[in-house]
Amino acid sequence: MIRNNMPGYPLNRMRRNRQSNWSRRLVCENHLSRSDLILPVFVMEGKNQVEPIESLPNVNRYTIDRIVDIAIECEDNGIPLIAIFPVIDGSLKSDNAEEAYRSNNLVCRTVTAIKNKAPNIGIMTDVALDPYTIHGHDGIMKNDLIANDTTIEILIKQAINQCEAGADIIAPSDMMDGRVLKIREALEANNYQDTIIMSYSAKYASSYYGPFRDAIKSNKNLTGDKKTYQMDVANSDEALREAELDIAEGADMVMVKPGLPYLDIIHKIKSNLKVPTYAYQVSGEYASLMAASMNGWIEYDNIIMETLMCFKRAGADGILTYAALDVAKKISG
């Protein structure tokens, strides 16, 4: 059935607008720019070291001095934001994640170093305890259960600690109930009222996170699964409720994680709430594409650009992707 009595073929030939490069650009509905990109980076202790991550081809762990170079490269290539994830030594992990809020910890030193050398790029820091706990969970465990409110008290300390180091965006990824409100109240009370909160509002208990856990060396620590606090992969209405609650509690931006398998969630949140909405092309997504391209089954440049455009088409305002630098360079030529 033709919509609104629109005449069909041959009066309308849809291929007319596709036949030239200039005409395709003229009618293009969605655009991907360097300003849409956020690069996740992994930082480790040491000096002048770059350590490849086997399960994440072309992604590395960097010492602080080398990650500063990456931040400068991102700034030079028009990427507005980098997201820092720490590789914490096993000796510093504990039941109560004290290292998460220790002043001058790895994350804080990294933020300060980047701000000194690349002051015009934004820095996002992860607010969650999984890199710091012996058991690899995002919260404090009591009697084999994640203690929601006890965890929030630690998250508040962690967030303030990161703000003191100079973080621009605080990103709670733990999925504890009410943590956005409590963190926002703490930021206000400590004169960090201008600090942005990008909440991982719809973070699913996904099987796509394996290479990330390998990257931060928490894969061997994790006991059990995270299904009591991360979302059920079968649910979508629940994601809208989560995002709506986080915005009401003071989040400035929301994130959907993983990305490509959850385009419907991105679209639902953006369409209904009309708030800044971001997607994380997570480690398992990126690693799958890289593995296929390395085997010659798909072409890396084209498939990366296509997948990121899919995020934009779904409504994402920006994308965290390990391919951010590659894509930024491709866009700029």
Residues designated as active site: 203, 257
Sign of the alpha-carbon torsion through 75, 253, 192, 137: negative
Identify residue 305 by its one-letter amino acid code.
M
* 197 contacts 252 by C-beta, under 8 angstroms: yes
Could you tell me the sign of the dihedral formed by the alpha carbons of 192, 196, 201, 205, in that order? negative
The four Cα atoms 195, 200, 201, 206 give a dihedral, to 10 degrees, of 180
Closest by Cα among 246, 174, 179, 170 to 205: 174
262 neighbors 202 (Cβ within 8 angstroms):
yes
Angle (deg, nearest 10), helices 283-294 and 300-314: 150
Half-sphere exposure at residue 179, Cβ-oriented, CA atoms within 13 angstroms: 33
